[in-house]
Structure 1
């Protein structure tokens, strides 16, 4: 059996006439007759009883019609899904991003993407740069938004934005009145930092260790949101990337580091574009738009 013969058979039964089926399928009447004869020969049964110009479906034909109609509907759905996947309107995308770019830059992009392509099954995870790069290499993620991966992972990397570290302060903190913070200003402060595997923690330590100024205490906190809440509660000051979205009017401000200027490039890491589906490629294209946006707006003193 081939699908063309089944489609012809289904049309013949539905119309109750070979000629009408031929007109719908845009076949010559002889082609319809030949396909039905071959289908009957293949199955070894008669599917129609000829009565002059009329055709009457046999019992075997009635059963086959029911199955063929379901099969053709399924095949049609398969064709449509495959076509949608090729166009990027269906399929699945799994990626991960570091914070705070995930919430501050990507959330709105993902929301727009999902509205335009509701059939795409999208999974977005949040993690650290190291683990994201390793999972992209292992094939567990289509791509990742992270810092530049180690060369040994042999991943492609497209830079998006350069992030600079700043100091998150409660409005009531004496340092909040300054336009920028110096390394010497950390003396006697409780500094809230991310975990050791975080790229921002590594960036902070490499910058502050080079100054020789570290007469302060550090508290390790695994979430920028928690750091934000602790600073709001006046527990200490936080080391965070400079995003205006992390500030809270009348409550929190972020000041740049005057003499350290630690910066890191964040971009898209992936193995090979040829391995990626169209839906993933389209999402990557949407994410590239953030490189054209203003990264942050510094508050005035």
Structure 2
């Protein structure tokens, strides 16, 4: 049984005439007759009962007509979906991004993309740079927005933006009135940092060095959102990328460091482009718009 023969049978049964089916399908009448004969031979059952010049669908044929109609509609949907996926207008894209890039830069990009490509199903994870790179390497994600992956992962990396670390304070903190804050000013205060696997945490520790780090009372917190809430509640100073969006309606301040300039490149991590579908490539093009987006606060 092949789809062409099934399509011919469905047209014959629906139209009640082989000649009308041949005209609709643009086949020669002999081709229609041959396909029906082959289908009947394949199934071992008569699909039509001949009553003089009329062709009446048999009981088995009536059941097959119903099932064939459903199947052919499914095949039509399948063909259209595959075509849309090939054109980048359908399908699914799995990707991930680190915080606060995900919320501060990507939210608007994703909203615009979903509006322009409503049939594309997006799945976004928020995780650390290394975890993202591992999932991209293993094929669990199409791409990631993170810091540069280790060379051993053999991933492509396309830098998009540079981020600079700063100090997050509550407005009533003793250091809040300063335009710049030196690393030495942090002594005696609780310093809130991300987990050890976080690229921002690693950047901070590399910038401050082991000697000065030993003089600070650091507390590990696994979420920038929780760091924001703790600082806003008056507990500690947060180490975070400098984003205007992190300054919550005047309830938080982010100040640059006076004597340190820790900068990290954030970009697209992906396997070579042949592994990517058009929907993923289209979304990556949209994410590249971060290059021209409004810069973070400085």
Answer yes or no: same fold by TM over 0.5: yes
Q: Does the 8 Å contact 2:205/2:213 carry over to 1? A: no
Q: What SS is found at the alignment partner of 1:174?
A: coil
1:232-271 correspondence runs (5 A): 232-271=232-271
Cα distance in 2 between the residues matched to 1:123 and 1:43: 44
Larger mean CA deviation between 31-40 and 3-12 belongs to: 31-40
Name 2:188's counterpart in structure 1: 188
Name 1:4's counterpart in structure 2: 4
> 1:6-37 CA deviation, whole Å, 9 max, x = no partner?
11111111111122212221223232223223
> 1:82-104 CA deviation, whole Å, 9 max, x = no partner?
12221223322222211100111
How many residues were matched structurally?
298
Name 1:170's counterpart in structure 2: 170
Unaligned runs of 5+ in 1: none
Structure 1 residue 283 corresponds to structure 2 residue 265:
no
Q: Does the 8 Å contact 1:159/1:268 carry over to 2? A: yes
Q: What SS is found at the alignment partner of 1:250?
A: coil
Cα distance in 1 between the residues matched to 2:216 and 2:2: 77
> 1:9-67 CA deviation, whole Å, 9 max, x = no partner?
11111111122212221223232223223323333333223344422112232222122
Structure 1 residue 36 corresponds to structure 2 residue 36:
yes
Q: Does the 8 Å contact 1:186/1:214 carry over to 2? A: no
Q: What SS is found at the alignment partner of 1:166?
A: strand
Q: Does the 8 Å contact 1:203/1:263 carry over to 2? A: yes
- Displacement of 1:211: 7.9
Q: Does the 8 Å contact 1:194/1:200 carry over to 2? A: yes
In structure 2, do the counterparts of structure 1 residues 211 and 255 end up closer, same or farther at CA, with 3 Å as the change threshold?
A: farther
Report the aligned-residue RMSD.
2.0
Q: Does the 8 Å contact 2:192/2:227 carry over to 1? A: yes
Unaligned runs of 5+ in 2: none
> 1:241-287 CA deviation, whole Å, 9 max, x = no partner?
01110002332111111221100001111122111222222221111
- Displacement of 1:207: 1.0
Larger mean CA deviation between 98-107 and 40-49 belongs to: 40-49
Q: What SS is found at the alignment partner of 1:177?
A: coil
